[in-house]
Every structure is written in structure tokens, then in C-alpha cells.
Amino acid sequence: MNVSPEQAALIRLSDYRAPAWRVETVDLDFDLGIDATELSARLLLRRDRTQTQPLRLDGENLELLSIMLDGQALPATAYRYADRVLEIDDVRDGSVLETRVRLRPAVNTALEGLYLSGSREAGFLLTQCEAEGFRHITFFPDRPDVQSRYTVTLRADRERFPVLLAGGNPDGAGELDGDRHWARFVDPHPKPSYLFALVAGRLEKIVRDYVTADGRAVTLNIWAEADAIGRCDYAMDALERSMRWDEQTYGRNYDLDVFHVVATHDFNMGAMENKGLNIFNAKCLLADPDSTTDDEYRHVEAVVAHEYFHNWSGNRVTCRDWFQLSLKEGLTVFREQSFSADMNSAPLKRIEDVSLLRRAQFPEDAGPLAHPVRPAQYSEINNFYTATVYEKGSELVRMLAGRLGTDGFRRGMDLYFERNDGRAAALEDFLSSLGDANGIDLTPYLAWYAQAGTPRLKAHGQYDAARHEYTLTLAQHIQAGADHEPALPLPIPVKLALFARNGDMLPLHMDGQTSEQVNERVIVLTGAEQSFVFTGIPSAPVPSLLRGFSAPVILECDYTPDELALLLGHDADGFNRWEASQQLAARAYENLRDGAATDALQAWCESLAQLFNNSTIDDALLADLLTPPGEVELAEREKAVDPQHIHALRQSLLRRLAARLGAEALRRRYQALAADTNAALDAVSQARRRLKRRVLELLGLIDGPGTRLLAASQYDDAPGMTDRLAALAVLLRGNAPEAAPALLYFRERYADNALALDKWFAVQAQVPGDGALDRVLALENDPAFTLKNPNRVQALLGAFVRINPSGFHRLDGAGYRFLAERLVTLDALNPQLAARLATAFNGWQRLEPQRRAAARAAIAELAGHEGLSRNLTEIVDSVFIH
């Protein structure tokens, strides 16, 4: 990200210094209340003898009630609390500091620190500390390289807060006078402050006993409010699967006697891996067939696994500083993706992950918000929980894992955990463990962590018929980073195969070797350009490159449409088959856009028609093959972006495909898929629903009236949310008269189900075209809409500005002005949420001139607004100044 010189103080990676003061033990004692909570903190302080700075503790918006050092009340002259820092004189190594502060959870709308979820009467209290929320709770060196042992005592009214939870093992509970009670928790594992958590209120639980592979008996508790506890069973099963998988795949066992998971409707992110007390956004935890779609089920499983896996990759081994965030996040996303691939279908999972990377990370990396996986500087760390740190970070781990192979990677991970257990580590520690365990120097891969931008990989093949040799020349090109440093060449592993024209894979012989019979291998491009020679190739082959997406790059290869069609028809690797269809669809799109040739368009339609009529292909893969790149991805290929034109072109691309498949065949397929509609979650049933939706959407493009009837009865008869929501979307997009009553019915049926209601808002916000904004404005008046709930904001505003380009990017700029206005209001309530939504302005410079001018004016007005948060200011300045 680019930041203006006048922007709030920048934190730089190069300025890192070890902490001058550490905290050995922390005793926290809370008197919990909704309007006012008071807490005492007792810190045993340790000084780094090589440093001389006075004790400085972070603390934000804290009402200091008392302060004592080594048992003596401190006079006001002995400390200063200003600019979010408490500085205290004359502290010694071994001193004990005791502070008492008052917090106001009920008015904390930022959802950071201690806050109230739900209503004053019925809601509960909880905390969110990562990244820097702990300083909103008490004075502390709030940085991840300060690891301490925590003892936490909670006291509260028994009737209002019957359940009291904190991380660690339970260490006693009892009664207090005045109908109050207490509970204590001791965490034996030293941890950074961002992993602290507490929860207090009226919650119910489901329980499961679990015994770890190394024999520890653990109680697993999932907590939710009474109306939601019936929707936690799927998450509990997913948790158990995750725990077993981590034991089997990485040899990692859980390490406390109890593991709590809590669901809340008021949360800024997906979930949080607090030690022993994970807190989840309800949308990533609750699931039942009536209100949860197949995609959401898989998401719940993935997030449960992700947070659980953090117990080792993040908690036992944490980050030295926030620049190393991808050390825990990239690694944990990779672990989660591998788990999901094992639990479901590996190629489908890879397709999903790469689609997300292209939709979210590539545009981020191509615009003013681009930053390396290890950023060099930030103003507000919460702005760096990005697709680059998470998704690209995971791709980097995947490259390393591919380089080392399954056994080598496991050896490296074992060494990483062994060397760094209990430590706050850096990315160098990760690479050196992986390398040392395998006798390989992986330091060249550090360049991937330091450079922003998606590398372009140019591939050119040349066949020498006389020598039966095929030479593949690879060259890399990466745009100079935002800092204008010339980019270094990166190691790029390219997994490849060669196909004969009849669709057979050819044996790969390199460097004269003929002994081993392999038909897939990995070559690594290490310089700017290199050639690789394959011998004994009988005829000009078609290369299948970057199989499984072996490196996060943009491949530029001079394929003919026929060659792509060959890969689409024959590649045994499901992912690369999909990849060929994506490339071919993008070319077909260009055919339509440029109005010149139609070769790619024809090849794409013909290949898909063949596959459509071939009953052996998996339904879910077929559904994905029938889906061209999305509008955001297509926009990445344009110089002057007109999102509405892109939408129209993509629609006509789909219409051409539908026409080629034919209304009759589509209808027949739909009927066959609909014949045994059910709500079962097995892979076959999910795949059928996925294809059924795709087929219905395609049919809708060429037979509106017929599709309306099918969609209306699918809506009425749907046994679960996947079918119901798909039918509703088709009715809405087809502007069907049945849409309005269907919406009314949905609104009433799910009036008390917040997560289902979110889908009701989102499906309407996503209807393409100029009318979307008016629909969003009307929906803002629905009594269920509120800017105070992040899920609701994402459902209506997020879906509109992020998932509906043809709705948001109106030529008159009304979408931009709407977003800018809402950001000002939202920022005053919840800066993290406002900043995240503001990233929808990313890429405005590449819009065609009229929209660009309108976007610029809206952003300029926003940037000129007084009193914006540090979060929003950093995003707006970065986007605007660039």
C-alpha cells in the first residue's frame, strides 16, 4: 500500500527491536457489567538488561482508576498517560504493576476489545483482541513477541451472566455475595496478548468428549444462544475431524483439557483463534439444511479447521511482529485448504481456491493497495488482513511444500515446530526449518515474500521434428513494485506434462535421461529466462503448464484455441482441465468483444457441448467448466474498464453457450437432476445441486418463460437452502413476476434467522444492472437493516459494491457517491468494517474516463472529510494518492 507522507505514524519492519520489557505473569480480575466493567491487572515485569527505556505500556480509551507499583499507590507525577501510551518511572526488573480500569462494553460499536453482542437485555459480553484489541482492555506491552502466563478471574451477576469463560484450563468457581459468582482460568502456555479472550452471558452448549492421539482427555464445548444451539452439530463434527487430521497429517495434538468455541452474530471477521476459546462469527459456525447452503457448509468446515489449526500454527508458534502475519495466516490457510481437499474433492477445492485468488488477490496486487506478503510498513495493521497475506501467503507455502514433497515438507514442519515451540518467530525461521530438514537452501524464496505484484510467466514451445526435441522457453516478468525498486527474478516451480495430439500424455525425458518413465514433472525457473529441452518427443506436443496451479503467476502462453480444447477435453488433472476452459472462455470473450474471429468461441462451445453430453464427467466439475471467469477477473484483462459492458459481454458469451447446448438438452438435464432432489450433504448430492443451478441459469438465458416455471417450482419444493436460494436468484435475475411473492415469503419465513435474512438482503443486492442501487436504498429502510451489524452490512452493502460490478459502477457515479456517504457514517461506528468496505474503490484508476472521473470525485470528497479513523484514512489515502 502507498501511504502519504502526512499519514499517521508508519510502523516499519526495519525498525523492529526486541521488547525492552516483558511480562512474565498476568493476573486479570474482572467485575463484569454491561454498562461498566472494571478490571484489575497485575503484571510481573521483566526488563531486558541490554535496554534502558522506561516502561511504556499500550492503552487505548482506558479510564484509569488506580495504579500501584510494588504495592505502593503511584503519585500522579510518577506516570504519564497520553497518546495511547502509559509511561511509568522507576520500574525495576521484577516489579509488579497493578492497574485498575473501567471499560464501557455497551457503547463499544467498533467490536474490538470488550463489547456486547446482541441486546442489552439478552446479549452477552465477549472480547476480540487480534491484532491490537488487548490495549482496549488493559495497559500492556500489546505486541505478539511478549508472551506471558495468564490467570483470569471473572466475577459477575449469576442470573445475567450464568456462563463465564476464559482461555486456559478451569481453576475453580464459586459463589459470591449478592447473587454473584466467580470462575478462574489458568493457561499453562505462555501466550501473546492478542490470544486473550473472555465470554460471559446466557449461552447454551453442546459437549463432546475427545481423546487426543497422545492420550489427553479433552472436553469440546460449542456455545451459542438458545435459538442457535440446535445448529452447532455440524461444526462439532468438523472440529473433531480437524483434530484427528492434524494428529495424522502433522502429528499435532491439542494441549489443554478443554476447548471452547463460541458463536456470535456481532463479529468483524470470520472467527478468532484465541487460545482454548475460539470465537466465531455465527455465519462461520451455525449450519442446518433449512438455512445453510452447500458452499456455506464447506465454509463452516474450513473455518472450524482453520481456527483449530492455529493452535499450533499461530498460538504455540506465534509471530514476532505483525509483519510476519503470513507466517501464521498463509501457513494456516494452506493447512486448511489441504484439510478441505482431503475431506472433499481435491480438484474442486483447488478450483475454488484459485478462483478466489484471482478474484480477490490478483486485483489487490495489481492496484494501489498492493503490498508484499510480508509488508514493509503499515499505519493500521488491521488493514493488512488481506487476500495477499492470506491467500497468496498460502500459495507460497504450497510452492514450498511442492518443492519438498510430502515427506520432506512434513520433516520441515516437524523441525519448524520443534525449534520454534513457545517462540515468536519470523518468516526466516520457517524457511530455514523447511530447508535445514531437507538440506536445501530455500532463501531464494524469501524474495516472494518481499515483492508485491503478480509475476507474469511467458511460455513458448518449439518443436524440432528432425531431432524429436521439444524446447520450452520460460521467461518471467514482474512489474516494478510500488517503491519502484526493480523486481528480482523469483524461483517459479512449473509442474508440467506434454500431450500428444491424440490426448495421450508423453513420457518426459530431460538432459538425456531416459531411464525413469515419468509423464509429469516440476521444472523450476530461477532466472529471468530459461529453456528446457525434452527429448524423444515423437510429434509436436501440447504443453499442460502450471498443473494444479503450481505457482501464483499469470501464465501467458501462445496456445491456439484447438490446443486449449485438447487440454479441456483430455487433461487428466481436473484442475488443469478447468484451467483450459477458463483460458478458452477468456479468449471466447475476447472474440465477442473484438468482433473479429470466432475461433475460440466455437472451440469453447464445442468442447463443452461434448463434455455436457458425456455422462462420465463429475457433475460438480462440469458445473465449474460451464462457468467462465467472473466479471472481476475479466476486468483485469482490460485497459479502460466498463463493468457494465463486461457484464453484457459475459452474458452474451453464456447465451451463446446455452444456445449451443440447446434448450431441449438443458431442460432434459435439469429434469434428470431434479428427479431425485434431496437435502443430503454427500458429494454426489452437492454436485447435482451445483450443476442443476448452472443448467437452470443457462436455460434462463434462452428460455425465460420455461425457466420461470421451473425456478418457481424449485423454490416452492426446495428441501434445503441451496436449491431455494438458487431458484430465488434465477427468478430475480429473470425479472419474473414470481420473484416478489417469493421474496415476501422468504422474508417472513426467516424473520428470526439472521443468517438466512442476510442471504435475503444479499441476493437482492446482487441483481445486476442500473436498478441495483435503488433496490439497495429501499432495503436500507427494512427494519432489519442496521449499520451496527457487520454481517448485515456485508450482506447488503458488501454484496452490492463487491459482488455486483454492473450495479455498483453506474455511469452516473451514483454508486460511488453512495459508498462514500455510507463509509463516513460507518466509520464512526466501526472503523475496521468501514476500511474493509472502502477497498471496493480499488482499481478506480483503470475505469473508463467517465466513471473514473465520478469515482475520483467521490473518493476526493471522502478523503477530505475531517476526523476519519486511522483505518479508513490509510485505505482512502492509498487508493487516492496512487
Query: Which does residue 221 touch among ligand B3K, Zn ion, none (CB within 5 to 8 A, set by kind)?
Result: none
874 binds ligand B3K (CB under 6 A): no
Residue 662 phi, psi (nearest 5) = 90, 140
Partners of 86 in beta bridges: 57, 81
CA proximity to 391, closest of 453, 347, 333: 333
Report the nearest approach of Zn ion to the CB of residue 315 (Å).
11
Q: Which residues ranging from 300 to 359 are in contact with Zn ion (CB under 5 A)? A: 329, 332
Q: What strands, in cross-sheet order, belong to the sheet with 521-525? A: 521-525, 492-499, 542-544
Residue with cell 484427528: 244
Query: Which does residue 382 touch among ligand B3K, Zn ion, none (CB within 5 to 8 A, set by kind)?
Result: ligand B3K
- Report the sign of the C-alpha dihedral through residues 52, 57, 63, 68, in that order: negative
Pairing state between β 204-211 and 217-224: antiparallel
Nearer to Zn ion, 47 or 836 (CB): 836
> What is the spatial distance between Cα 809 and Cα 770, in angstroms, rounded to a whole number?
8
Report the nearest approach of ligand B3K to the CB of residue 328 (Å).
7
* Choices 266-274, 489-497, 577-585, 680-688 (CB under 6 A): range interacting with ligand B3K: 266-274
Q: Which of 98, 225, 301, 307 is catalytic?
A: 307
Geometric angle at alpha carbon 485, from 482 and 488, rounded to 5°: 110
Report the nearest approach of ligand B3K to the CB of residue 417 (Å).
18
Among 142, 145, 273, 391, the residue binding ligand B3K under the rule CB under 6 A is 273
* Choices 236-244, 302-310, 341-349, 714-722 (CB under 6 A): range interacting with ligand B3K: 302-310
Nearer to ligand B3K, 310 or 403 (CB): 310
| Binding track, positions 575-614, relative to Zn ion; x by CB under 5 A | ----------------------------------------
Nearer to ligand B3K, 426 or 710 (CB): 426
Report the nearest approach of ligand B3K to the CB of residue 222 (Å).
17
CB of 417 within 8 A of CB of 316? yes
CB of 286 within 8 A of CB of 223? no
Nearer to ligand B3K, 306 or 320 (CB): 306
CA proximity to 796, closest of 814, 770, 822, 821: 822
CA proximity to 279, closest of 385, 129, 162, 118: 129
359 binds ligand B3K (CB under 6 A): no
Query: Which does residue 267 touch among Zn ion, ligand B3K, none (CB within 5 to 8 A, set by kind)?
Result: none
196 binds ligand B3K (CB under 6 A): no
317 binds ligand B3K (CB under 6 A): no
H helix or E strand, kind and range, residue 594: helix 574-594
- Report the sign of the C-alpha dihedral through residues 204, 207, 212, 218, in that order: positive
Report the nearest approach of ligand B3K to the CB of residue 208 (Å).
22
Q: Which residues ranging from 365 to 384 are in contact with ligand B3K (CB under 6 A)? A: 382
848 is catalytic: no
Report the nearest approach of ligand B3K to the CB of residue 242 (Å).
13
H helix or E strand, kind and range, residue 747: helix 739-749
Residue type (1 letter), 750: Y
Q: Which residues ranging from 431 to 490 are in contact with Zn ion (CB under 5 A)? A: none
Residue 427 phi, psi (nearest 5) = -60, -30
27 binds ligand B3K (CB under 6 A): no
Neighbouring residues of 570: CB distance < 8 A, sequence distance ≥ 6: 499, 503
Among 39, 43, 86, 272, the residue binding ligand B3K under the rule CB under 6 A is 272
* Choices 88-96, 268-276, 337-345, 574-582 (CB under 6 A): range interacting with ligand B3K: 268-276
Nearer to ligand B3K, 385 or 416 (CB): 385
Query: Which does residue 567 touch among Zn ion, ligand B3K, none (CB within 5 to 8 A, set by kind)?
Result: none
CA atoms within 13 Å, Cβ hemisphere of 178? 5
H helix or E strand, kind and range, residue 281: strand 277-281
Report the nearest approach of ligand B3K to the CB of residue 692 (Å).
33
CB of 491 within 8 A of CB of 455? no
CB of 146 within 8 A of CB of 116? no
Nearer to ligand B3K, 145 or 571 (CB): 145
Query: Which does residue 385 touch among Zn ion, ligand B3K, none (CB within 5 to 8 A, set by kind)?
Result: ligand B3K
> What is the spatial distance between Cα 106 and Cα 650, in angstroms, rounded to a whole number?
47
* Choices 269-277, 518-526, 771-779, 871-879 (CB under 6 A): range interacting with ligand B3K: 269-277
336 binds ligand B3K (CB under 6 A): no
Query: Which does residue 364 touch among ligand B3K, Zn ion, none (CB within 5 to 8 A, set by kind)?
Result: none
838 binds ligand B3K (CB under 6 A): no
CB atoms within 10 A of CB 513: 10
| Binding track, positions 376-415, relative to Zn ion; x by CB under 5 A | ----------------------------------------
Among 27, 58, 130, 723, the residue binding ligand B3K under the rule CB under 6 A is 130
Report the nearest approach of ligand B3K to the CB of residue 112 (Å).
8
> How many amino acids of this chain bind Zn ion (CB under 5 A)?
2
Geometric angle at alpha carbon 622, from 618 and 628, rounded to 5°: 155
331 binds ligand B3K (CB under 6 A): no
> What is the spatial distance between Cα 117 and Cα 384, in angstroms, rounded to a whole number?
25
Cis peptide before 131 (omega within 30 of 0): yes
CB of 170 within 8 A of CB of 183? yes
Q: Which residues ranging from 385 to 414 are in contact with ligand B3K (CB under 6 A)? A: 385
**C-alpha distance from residue 370 to each of 102, 327, 361, 404, 451 (Å):** 40, 18, 9, 29, 10
Nearer to ligand B3K, 130 or 246 (CB): 130
Report the nearest approach of ligand B3K to the CB of residue 707 (Å).
40
Query: Which does residue 130 touch among Zn ion, ligand B3K, none (CB within 5 to 8 A, set by kind)?
Result: ligand B3K
CB of 723 within 8 A of CB of 677? yes
Residue 720 phi, psi (nearest 5) = -155, 175
CB of 39 within 8 A of CB of 137? yes
Nearer to ligand B3K, 391 or 738 (CB): 391
306 binds ligand B3K (CB under 6 A): yes
307 binds ligand B3K (CB under 6 A): yes
Nearer to ligand B3K, 271 or 553 (CB): 271
284 binds ligand B3K (CB under 6 A): no
Nearer to Zn ion, 278 or 332 (CB): 332
Among 32, 111, 126, 131, the residue binding ligand B3K under the rule CB under 6 A is 131
Nearer to ligand B3K, 199 or 546 (CB): 199
According to the 3-state scheme, what is the secondary structure of 137-183?
CCCECCCCCCEEEEEEEEEEECCCCCEEEECCEEEEEEEECCCEEEE
Residue type (1 letter), 669: R
> What is the spatial distance between Cα 559 and Cα 537, in angstroms, rounded to a whole number?
19
Nearer to Zn ion, 249 or 652 (CB): 249
* Choices 64-72, 92-100, 305-313, 526-534 (CB under 6 A): range interacting with ligand B3K: 305-313
* Choices 33-41, 83-91, 264-272, 813-821 (CB under 6 A): range interacting with ligand B3K: 264-272
Burial of 219 (0-12, 13-18, 19+ CB in 10 A): middle
Q: Which residues bind Zn ion (CB under 5 A)?
A: 329, 332
Q: Which residues are catalytic?
A: 307
Q: Which residues bind ligand B3K (CB under 6 A)?
A: 130-131, 269, 271-273, 306-307, 310, 329, 382, 385
